[in-house]
Amino acid sequence: MELQQQAMLSISELFGPTLQGEGKSQGMHTMFVRLGLCNLDCVWCDTPYTWDWTGKNGTKYDKAEQLQRMSIAQLLERMPDGVKRVVVTGGEPMVQQATLVHFVWGMMRKGYTTEVETNGTLMPSYEWADLDVQFNVSPKLANSGVARNKAINIGVLTEYKHHGATFKFVVENDDCIREVIAIAHEVGIQPSNIWLMPQGRTSTDILAQLPWLFDKCAQHGFNLSARLHVLAHNDKRGI
């Protein structure tokens, strides 16, 4: 792949060094690149400032204020030498995957470990096969308020599984657990490759659900992701 250093991405924010709060690498030293734009509109979205230009989720954000355009070269220059793990999140990063692949390629060349967070609705292009990237796929359940035919695409999720992705789900009740089990069965995801996370924007919300979710994970063989950043700083941005 030829690195397209002048290709542009819509960026919401860059922050770190910090710690990864979720999933397989939770607790690890990390830099975050938050991209703008999303193809879904979850009712409990904790980053509506990356996509909600109409006020659907309660606040109307100004796209011109919230997003900036940055080239791959500019982004690569902003990555600190002391942190060797970068998480690309959103929004939905795969909305911009045609350019994102070049950023990940550039990070590989610099020796960084790169994770890409995705909702798992957009098929990864053939170019990802040549990249050393960890996909963290977070399919949206009925509690997101997104219609299933828009939120869940079994074919796309299966493709991510073939890329060695990990899967994480935001859950809040037994109906969510049943959905996770059904999706895992359809896609063929092993319980050991699934992380469950309590829904909530404050430490109080998270802690209230932890005993129940701890027991559900133990019962079904899932991993528990306690959302460390929320426990530490609630819904503060840039953490």
Q: Is the pLDDT of residue 3 over 80?
A: no
Answer yes or no: is 157 within a domain: yes
Structural domains of the chain, count: 1
**Once rounded to an integer, what is the mean pLDDT over residues 106-128?**
96
Answer yes or no: is 211 within a domain: no
Q: Is the pLDDT of residue 35 over 90?
A: yes
Q: Is the pLDDT of residue 5 over 90?
A: no
Q: What are the pLDDT digits (tens) for 207-231?
A: 999 999 999 999 999 999 999 999 9
Answer yes or no: is 223 within a domain: no
pLDDT value of position 36: 98
**Cβ(196)–Cβ(180) under 8 Å?**
yes
Q: Is the pLDDT of residue 2 over 90?
A: no
Answer yes or no: is 102 within a domain: yes
Output the average pLDDT for the chain.
96
- Point out which residues pair with 15 in neighbouring strands: 32
pLDDT more than 70, % of the chain? 100
Q: Which domain holds residue 111?
A: 8-187
pLDDT value of position 98: 97
Distance from C-alpha of 98 to C-alpha of 127, rounded to nearest angstrom? 9
pLDDT value of position 143: 96
Residue 193 pLDDT grade (very low, low, confident, very high; cuts 50, 70, 90): very high
Answer yes or no: is 118 within a domain: yes
Distance from C-alpha of 95 to C-alpha of 124, rounded to nearest angstrom? 10
The structure tokens listed for 109 are 């060349």
pLDDT value of position 239: 87
Residue 1 pLDDT grade (very low, low, confident, very high; cuts 50, 70, 90): confident
pLDDT value of position 128: 97
Q: Is the pLDDT of residue 205 over 90?
A: yes
Answer yes or no: is 19 within a domain: yes
Q: Is the pLDDT of residue 4 over 90?
A: no
- CATH number, position 25: 3.20.20.70
**Once rounded to an integer, what is the mean pLDDT over residues 92-96?**
98
Tell me how far the alpha carbon of residue 160 is from its chain's centroid.
13
Q: Is the peptide bond before 17 cis (omega within 30 degrees of 0)?
A: yes
Q: What are the pLDDT digits (tens) for 119-174?
A: 999 999 999 999 999 999 999 999 999 999 999 999 999 999 999 999 999 999 99
Answer yes or no: is 194 within a domain: no
